[in-house]
Amino acid sequence: MRRALAALIALLLIAPAAAQGANGGASAGSGETTTGGTPPTSTGGTTVDPNWVPSAGNGPAPERNPEPQVPSGGDDSPAGSFARRDIPRLYLKHYRAAGRRYGVDWRLLAALGKNESDHGRSTLPGVTTGLNFAGCCSGPMQICQVASCGNVWQAYRRDGDGDGVVSIYSAGDSIHSAAALVADLKRMVGPSSKLILAAYNAGPGTVQKYRGVPPIDETQVYVRNGVRYLRLLRR
């Protein structure tokens, strides 16, 4: 209890910090860096939202029921021809498995993975080693692993490939961890794919504040690209 309280106090103290970068990334941030009432034009890496912390505070979130589930708002139908062409086989396997495990649409996970790293094929910093340009997010799903955006990885890390080692750069681990995060985001902003995409990029606090996709250029593009990819995956 004391440990969780200390983590919450520390998060509130660093709330003004912002990470500037290029990859989008999963963050607990609000995405706001406004002055004079002007809407932000880019999240960069987002700002910490002091009203939201990962469900597990500063440690791994508890495992949810591992039994397969049919996602609400999605389905577990076979991957179409476009998905099989565009998504590497290993990534497709983990998107589908993680979707079943956490009750989210595997196509939504794939859209996030496409946006963040082109399913691990991007050569940008932070995808296979180190941190992204913002100095906060890593791995194929670009999950934040520093205090300035909520230590999201520390809260949601999963051994998705079952090899006994949890690595943010592993496709299986990163995808399953992102799915656990998305399940929480869905509870916070609702089942809308657009809102979940926006929350993954800009933070759930920003989505809640604007009661929809926030007026942030980067997030608007992120959501449009994600929705377009979701449509393609249904072919």
Q: Is 23 within the bounds of a domain?
A: no
- DSSP helix/strand/coil, 163: coil
* Parent domain of 167: 2-15+46-233
Counted domains in the chain: 1
The answer to whether the CB of 158 falls within 8 A of the CB of 139 is: no
CATH of the domain at 145: 1.10.530.10
Q: Is residue 33 part of a domain?
A: no
Query: Is position 171 within any domain?
Result: yes
**Residue 30 falls inside a structural domain:** no
DSSP SS3 for 61: coil
Predicted TM-score of the model (pTM):
0.74
Residue 38 lies in a domain: no
**pLDDT tens by residue, the chain, 235 residues:** 333 333 332 332 222 223 333 355 665 443 333 323 333 333 333 333 433 434 333 333 334 443 333 345 445 667 788 999 999 999 999 999 999 999 999 999 999 999 999 999 999 999 999 999 999 999 999 999 999 888 999 999 999 999 999 999 999 999 999 999 999 999 999 999 999 999 999 999 999 999 999 999 999 999 999 999 999 998 8
Please report whether residue 20 resides in a domain. no
Assess if residue 98 is contained within a domain. Answer: yes
201 touches 164 (CB < 8 A): no
